[in-house]
Amino acid sequence: MVQIRKTLNLHFHHFHTEGPAPYAAPEYAGAFFDQGFFVGANVRESVNAGYADYLPAHLSESQSMYRSGALPCDVAMVQVSLPDADGMVSLGTSVDCSVAALEVATLKIAVVNPRVPFAYGDLVPLSCFDHLVYDETPLITKDYVQPSETELRIGKYCAELVPDGACLQMGIGSLPNAVAAALANHRDLGLHTEMFADGALELIEKGVINGAAKTIDKGQTVASFLLGSQKVYDFVHRNPAVRMRDIQYTNDPWNIARNDRVVSINSALEIDLTGQVCADSIGTRIFSGTGGQLDFVRGAKMSKEGKAILAMASRTNKGRAKIVPTLQPGAGVVTPRADIQWVVTEYGAVNLYGKSLQERARLLMSIAHPDDREMLDREAFARFGLHWRQ
């Protein structure tokens, strides 16, 4: 039996989490220190106040940080399904880097929850755990969010870039739901993604996503973690058409590119006139995480006939421009300008691939909010000089 001595300054690592996060609260400073690969609403204030922290990493590399020892992991605590007849359990909603953590941890603890879906893919033996805890707490769900009119327009432009037989990567939220709604008349789409949510499930139920044209994992939906309604969890449970895999498999750009016609659809907080994309922070304020955006941007571009799409509204809900002359001071560049390809707003779609700085600026201005275009033109003139107006 492994003995863990009582100590302070316990570090917690995690992907996106939902629900209360008391371990990140100021009153527990010195006892717990939360370090997340993704910063959700439950830890955002603590991270930006310094009581918790952010681990910037491409999701494809999160597993290698554990496997290489770059990120120590003494104790792995994971939630698992009930075992099958062979004593194997599923990591259910959160395979991601959990397999890697279990491989290297000194102490392994499983929370066995009958509500966790038994998802095929990367399973682990129940016998590998040092301790088992039984719990029947319902899983946290995220219900389907109806898209706005602006998002529906963005979804339409995105869908026009998706050919029949494409293999999709898309996430959760009202914008991906808008894209899914616009894809309802497409045929033989596939899904190879990091997150599986309700928008994609609707397309599966309509027969639009069937995986028939996939090059690898033909006929199967492949993902690494789930977040959605109970309907999503029920669909995945013991469904041989779904494979929940290690993030090493789902997010490796070379593996992504093995499918033809990969179309990745991601979002951004802002993009500057040269094509630099910020997706994890608002200035110095950490808002979310790097995620797998660049993994899939690069994988989609390497794919035969693939496309990488960055989709966003031209302005925030508060009316602030999201296409800007320069990123806010301290903002993180998640997708470099050398990697950018398609950018979509409610005003259209432009392809920045192979375009110079001035060409990019003109293209991005054309899909910016009309009331922001004069400001952008003025800033571009100040940056590029007299030739800009010729």
Among residues 27, 61, 149, 194, the one annotated as catalytic is: 194
Scan for tokens 């590119």, then name that residue. Answer: 257
Measured CA to CA, the distance from residue 226 to residue 172 in angstroms comes to 9
Residues near 388 by Cβ (< 8 Å), separated by ≥ 6? 358, 380, 381
Residues 376 and 274 sit within 8 Å (Cβ to Cβ): no
Is 194 among the catalytic positions? yes
Give the count of alpha carbons within 13 A of 33, CB side only.
Answer: 10
The predicted model scores a pTM of 0.94
**Residue that the structure tokens 């630099």 belong to:** 276
In 3D space, the residue among 49, 322, 58 whose CA is nearest the CA of residue 194 turns out to be 58
pLDDT tens digits in sequence order for the chain, 390 residues long: 344 445 567 888 998 888 888 888 888 888 888 899 999 999 999 999 999 999 999 999 999 999 999 999 999 999 999 999 999 999 999 999 999 999 999 999 999 999 999 999 999 999 999 999 999 999 999 988 899 999 999 999 999 999 999 999 998 889 999 999 999 999 999 999 999 999 999 999 999 999 999 999 999 999 999 999 999 999 999 999 999 999 999 999 999 999 999 999 999 999 999 999 999 999 999 999 999 999 999 999 999 999 999 999 999 999 999 999 999 999 999 999 999 999 999 999 999 999 999 999 999 999 999 999 999 999 999 999 988 877
